[in-house]
Structure 1
Amino acid sequence: MTDFVKLLTRKNSLRKQCHELSSADIEKAIADLTEILEEKQAFEEEQQAVERERTEKIEAIKQSMQEAGIGLDDLMTLVEAPVKKKVAPKYQVTDENGEVHQWSGRGRTPAAFQAAFAQGKTKEDCLI
């Protein structure tokens, strides 16, 4: 909490700070705070109305699905899972066991390639 918020929310601290203000200054501050409060309340009411409307729409959809005999699983089968495009390997090394390892050059460097690079090979040496 900021010092300003602490001041506003603690009556004795606020009273102490307002001691030097004129009545007109205090009335102005109250009017400004009242306006800010009304704006905040209007915004919160608007957000609640949006959420109520959203909930009502969801309930209507659920009701329609029930009436049609459609379940969530039925819908999920229609949704296409995002397909990651597989990138063709660009590099290839053979380890000491004779096993061939391929890598697209993207992402983390595989251990087999790290070992080959540690032995002095370069990426260009491993190009397919």
Structure 2
Amino acid sequence: MSLLSLNNIRTLRAQARDTAVDVLEEMLDKLRVVVEEKQEEQQQLEAQQRDKAAKLEKYRELLASEGISLDELTTQPQTAIKTKSKRAPRPAKYTYVDEKGQTKYWTGQGRTPSVISKALDNGKSLDDFLLLSK
């Protein structure tokens, strides 16, 4: 039974028909505990939101008294902004021919291509795939 069915009086009556009164009272007590916990949780959340709002207002007043606007506080000077440059791709270190007969290149980083992996399992060395420098 889902919690949504507790909101339907007909479903509750049907479920309660075969349940003893003392069991129903025990269930009611447990439901009251759950409701009280939920109410306390809601009150704590509301108190936290009130505290946060009060702090925000305090800081707004402090900034206004110092002559600082929120826009000045949130914008960064252009000199402080650094853009991360993209590094150049790594040069290929190995060459191999795939299942389709195409020549492919591998940097030696990341997952080993399946063709090279199979060759290594069969006793070949990575040196057999080294790209000859021009």
TM range (shorter): 0.5 to 0.7
| Within-5 A mapping of 1:57-96 | 57-77=55-75, 81=81, 83-91=82-90
Instruction: Look at both structures and tell me which one has the larger radius of gyration over its CA atoms.
Output: 2
* C-alpha distance in 2 between matches for 1:18 and 1:6: 16
Pair 38,123 (structure 1): closer, same or farther in 2 beyond 3 Å:
same
| Structure 1 runs not aligned, ≥5 long | 93-118
Q: Alpha-carbon deviation of 1:58?
A: 0.5
* C-alpha distance in 1 between matches for 2:12 and 2:25: 14
Contact in 2 for aligned 1:91/1:123 (Cα 8 Å)? no
Please state whether the residue corresponding to 2:105 is helix, strand or coil. Answer: coil
Please state whether the residue corresponding to 1:122 is helix, strand or coil. Answer: strand
Please state whether the residue corresponding to 1:86 is helix, strand or coil. Answer: coil
Q: TM-score, normalised by structure 2?
A: 0.60
Q: Deviations over 1:77-107 (max 9, x none)?
A: 45855x4543432457xxxxxxxxxxxxxxx
Q: Alpha-carbon deviation of 1:43?
A: 0.6
Letter in 2 for 1:71: S
Corresponding residue of 1:122: 105
Corresponding residue of 2:20: 22
Please state whether the residue corresponding to 2:34 is helix, strand or coil. Answer: helix
Letter in 2 for 1:5: L
In percent, how many aligned pairs have the same letter?
Answer: 24
Q: CA RMSD in A?
A: 2.7
Moved more, 44-53 or 5-14: 5-14
